[in-house]
Structure 1
Amino acid sequence: MLASPWTLSRVLTVLLCLAVACPALAQEKRRKPPAIESVNEAVAKHINDNDVAGAVTLVIEDGKVVHLSGLGKANLKADKPMRPGAMFAIASMTKPITATALMTLVEEGKVGLDDPVSKYIPEFAEVKLDGKLLDKPITVRQCLTHTAGLGGSQRVVGSLESTAKEIAQRPLRYEPGTKWEYSPGLNVVGRVIEVASGKPYGEFLQERILDPLKMNATTFHPNEKQKSRIATLYAKDKDSGELTEADSWIGNFETDPYPNPSAGLYSTARDLSKFYNMMLNGGFLGDAKILSRDSVKELTKLQTGDIVTGFTPGNGWGLGYCVVQEPQGVTESLSKGSFGHGGAFGTQSWGDPEKKRAYILLVQRSNFPNSDASELRKDFQNAAAAALNK
């Protein structure tokens, strides 16, 4: 019995749809990055132990995403799953991005690393230590390496211009260049960027870093659609061990609206992987050239000599980046020369130039005793390295 013309037409239509859809579905499947099971198991343990509500982890190797996973909850009360595309307040992970933006001005000859900060912010000519003017001025390099003697809050109040002037009036904590102490130095650098470029810091960062790298989900001011993707910040109750919602000025675009060079960005794992891919590739990503290879080396080489620095043993400091000198403990799976930064809410991003890898951990937990030294970070990095070293 012959099929009716209507039936033949219907069959042909279905076959045509499948021919069009199948390659697209296959391509989508190919694009989906793998999740390394041992990494998921290592991270899930900390979610089950109520260390964090959820986490996004990403690993790149040789320019490719070899692991991407979202586990746990982005919001516990709403029972909202943590998706790989969730957005996070990355806090001090903003600092290396600011330093990289400044280096584009250094390449253009508009800023010198050893320039006195007072060249751009005149109030720094009046900085005093123990009531006396300095014999040698504070330099841009010292602000980038946290060796300038600056102290106090890293908040931006009003504007970077007013904040930098206020920082210059604070008493120095030590002779510049003699010690390391975590500081608001990158806020000073943000103001140097504004003066040298003639543009607001946030606009300059967008133009030089975020747009060229297509970091479209990285911003100081999430829009309404992006706000729905932000993971909730939690603190762990010391008595009950339960996670409760928490507040912070960091990343709070309502109370602290001015872009903060030290701590203000929101981002995603994929966006941060673009930034670290660029750094591991010597300043390039696809058609985008951000820096020269020499500038990348300058940013990520040891700048602090024998001065003891950082939040975990065996580290030194580059320009806005922490640099691993002697891998140990939480950094044992990283190679010497690895560079990166942590954030106040447990976020971590580290590039390993020897292995051509980067490890990105995104969580939102406000009262880690020392997020750089967290067991979660260690377990994540070790599990990923073990799987990839096989």
Structure 2
Amino acid sequence: MGSGTFETAALSRRAMLRGGALLGAGAALGTLPFGRAALAHAGHWPSVIALADEYVAARKVANMVAVLGWRQRAPDVIARGTLAIGQTAPAGIDSLYRIYSMTKPITGMATMMLIEDDRLSLDQPLAEILPAFADMQVQKTYDGSITDLEPAEQPITIRHLLTHTAGLGYSIIQKGPIKAAYERAGAVPGQVTRLPLGAVFGRGDPAPSLTAFADNLARLPLVAQPGTRWSYSVSLDLLGRVIEVASGKPFDVFLKERLFDPLGMTSTWFRVPQGEVGRLTTNYGVMNGRPLPLDPARASVFLDAPAFPFGGAGLVSSPRDYDRFLQMLVGYGQIGGKRVMSEAAVRLGTSNLLPEGVSTKGTFAEGSGFGAGGRVGLGEQAGTFGWGGAAGTVGFADLRRGLRAALFTQYMPSEAYPIHGAFPAAVVKDLAAMAKAQA
């Protein structure tokens, strides 16, 4: 693209709110023979340190904070840089980051809690909760005409929503008339900046409420038959509406009461309180290889009330908070001896929930399965679960080996730098060194 526009198609098919590369390298965890003795070497993360030093010293990013932990032990923290380029306030474990699609695993686990409560079931038709989604119509051609349609051959289910197999679209993924229809309907759950850059980021204005979002979405055609294709979508945002109907509480209230408060996630919000702006990082747009302020902290769109709580891409969180979420996962629902979710719900949510016959081949989730809002490893890599965000954040948990790891920085589009893959690769390299040291 020419000068004056962000590198790559901003939020393009591979660059948007996702973490597709993260488990491609992270899956190598399954091949490493490290065990209890390796814990003695925890804290030695030279490859992760080198990655952070490289990016911050070159001023490609303002900061990088990596948080890595074993089972229920306190995390190792690697922090480099400042809250914004040219500022002096250092970034750290309590700084605030736009985690975008790392919101999806949180929404996924909230859904698993309602399945655990018998308020939902995995293969329950969505129309039992939201009747407007009965009798859906489907595009005969993916991203083709929005008038050449056919009836859905099976109902959308909760499983489909969790795994991006419902046939729903995404304005940052789809092309042609269906993309325009999503934007007209306000089915664009997410926000980037107060700056007038809608044309660059391919977004319209979101619907005024979660109810309106769901109702408008139900009137749009599906892009694929339910249960037949993995296609990244707004399904986790729609689950926000499902959660509030099934629980009888607003979606954001449910998250606070059932996840954030019990986990001690005191710095995770859909809207950053004005009094916390001093901890908020600046988000950058990479243009011609240079980071330029895209969402400055003190003028951030995340200081405004969002149209509704975006369950697919709406949260701001701190590295400390997100580590507590991952710590709960590697604890199979427990953290610090306190149970937040059942072990069964965690095991199910971090397992491969894809409908039979659906493959991720040819997608940016290729080589993996998909669970409750996150990518899961298969075979030797089973037990690895996580996802990344549009502004460079990435996080995963290896439940089998008790490892949790996350990296926080802020730049868009995520593909401007290869961090989604480079961070897990650095973790694996350091784990290999630990394994060699114990041999």
Instruction: Work out which of the residue numbers 340, 361, 369 in structure 2 matches 1:316.
Output: 369
Instruction: Work out which of the residue numbers 405, 415, 418 in structure 2 matches 1:359.
Output: 405
| 1:165/1:157 CA distance change after superposition, 3 Å | same
- Does the aligned pair in 1 maintain the 2:271–2:302 contact within 8 Å? no
Q: Does 1:147 align with 2:165?
A: yes
* Structure 1, unaligned runs of 5 or more: 1-32, 328-334
Q: Does 1:193 align with 2:246?
A: no
- Does the aligned pair in 2 maintain the 1:232–1:245 contact within 8 Å? yes
- Does the aligned pair in 2 maintain the 1:220–1:251 contact within 8 Å? no
Partner of 1:307: 359
Partner of 2:150: 132
The two structures, once aligned, show a CA RMSD in angstroms of 2.5
Partner of 2:144: none
| 1:366/1:178 CA distance change after superposition, 3 Å | same
Distance 2:99 2:425 in 1: 20
Distance 1:260 1:189 in 2: 10
Distance 1:287 1:356 in 2: 15
Relative to the length of structure 2, the TM-score reads 0.74
Q: Does 1:344 align with 2:367?
A: no
Partner of 1:214: 264
1:9-58 deviation per Cα after TM superposition (whole angstroms, max 9, x unaligned)? xxxxxxxxxxxxxxxxxxxxxxxx95744421222112233432211101
Which residue identity does 1:199 align to in structure 2? K
Aligned 1:325-344 pairs, distance under 5 A: 325=378, 335-344=381-390
Shift in Å at residue 388 of structure 1?
A: 4.1
Which residue identity does 2:292 align to in structure 1? T
Shift in Å at residue 262 of structure 1?
A: 0.7
Aligned 1:1-390 pairs, distance under 5 A: 36-130=45-139, 131-153=149-171, 154-155=188-189, 156-238=206-288, 241-247=289-295, 252-254=302-304, 256-304=306-354, 307-308=359-360, 311-325=364-378, 335-369=381-415, 374-386=420-432, 388-389=434-435, 390=437
Distance 1:230 1:68 in 2: 18
Shift in Å at residue 159 of structure 1?
A: 1.2
Relative to the length of structure 1, the TM-score reads 0.83
Tell me the secondary structure at the aligned position of residue 80 of structure 2.
strand
| 1:251/1:362 CA distance change after superposition, 3 Å | farther
Tell me the secondary structure at the aligned position of residue 86 of structure 1.
coil
Distance 1:106 1:136 in 2: 21
Larger displacement relative to structure 2 (47-56 or 259-268) = 47-56
- Does the aligned pair in 2 maintain the 1:233–1:245 contact within 8 Å? yes
Partner of 1:22: none
1:156-184 deviation per Cα after TM superposition (whole angstroms, max 9, x unaligned)? 52111110111112211111111101100
Shift in Å at residue 376 of structure 1?
A: 3.7
Distance 2:360 2:60 in 1: 29
Tell me the secondary structure at the aligned position of residue 414 of structure 2.
coil
Which residue identity does 1:136 align to in structure 2? Q
1:112-136 deviation per Cα after TM superposition (whole angstroms, max 9, x unaligned)? 1211111111110132014333231
Larger displacement relative to structure 2 (369-378 or 109-118) = 369-378
Distance 1:311 1:94 in 2: 18
Distance 2:416 2:350 in 1: 23
Distance 1:207 1:132 in 2: 41
Question: What is the percentage of aligned positions where both structures have the same residue?
Answer: 32
* Structure 2, unaligned runs of 5 or more: 1-41, 140-148, 172-187, 190-205
